[in-house]
């Protein structure tokens, strides 16, 4: 398939496909004139990249999930760690949503007089509402 067909079938713009190739996430099999040509398996690989991005993995992290031959090689502990990160984010966002809903209907004359709003302010000041920083993991092969 040439790059325009891959872009059409995957929904990934050609510019992104070229960027992914530059990063080593996908590889063309050659050229047809000036156009890059890809094997049909690239569509599955693009789906895996999209799934990783949706889960919050960086492109570098996703790149480590493929063997040098291009086969998926996903460390289950990395998936478990990401699931824990998502759980933490869900708890933080749920607390923020609930606090905003309360603040929107709070009967206190001022938000600063509302005990719930004051508790939210203390949490924000302490950094409890900040996203959890990503852990840096050394690049390299990971077991399947």
CATH number, domain containing residue 56:
1.10.1660.10
Tell me the β-bridge partners of 72: 66
Q: pTM, whole model, 2 decimals?
A: 0.72
Q: Which two tokens stand for residue 131?
A: 């996203």
Nearest to 63 by CA among 76, 37, 45, 80: 45
Torsion of CA 71, 5, 27, 79, to 10 degrees: -40
Residue span of the structural domain in which 121 resides:
76-126
Contact 65, 72 (CB under 8 A): yes
Q: Each residue of 21-66: pLDDT tens digit?
A: 999 999 999 888 888 899 999 999 999 999 999 999 999 999 999 8
Check residue 141 and give its pLDDT: 47
Torsion of CA 100, 105, 108, 114, to 10 degrees: -20
pLDDT at 95 over 90: no
| Structural domains of the chain, count | 2
Query: Is 46 found in the same domain as 7?
Result: yes
């Amino acid at each position: 398939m040439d790059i325009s067909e891959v872009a059409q079938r995957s929904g990934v713009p050609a510019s992104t496909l070229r960027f992914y190739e530059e990063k080593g996430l996908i590889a063309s099999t050659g050229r047809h004139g000036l156009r890059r040509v890809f094997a049909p398996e690239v569509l599955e690989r693009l789906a895996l990249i999209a799934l990783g991005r949706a889960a919050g993995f960086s492109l570098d992290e996703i790149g480590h999930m493929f063997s040098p031959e291009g086969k998926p090689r996903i460390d289950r502990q990395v998936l478990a760690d990401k699931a824990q990160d998502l759980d933490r984010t869900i708890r933080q966002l749920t607390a923020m949503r609930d606090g905003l809903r309360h603040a929107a209907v709070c009967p206190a004359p001022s938000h600063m007089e509302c005990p719930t709003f004051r508790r939210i302010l203390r949490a924000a000041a302490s950094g409890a509402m900040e996203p959890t920083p990503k852990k840096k993991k050394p690049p390299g092969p990971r077991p399947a």
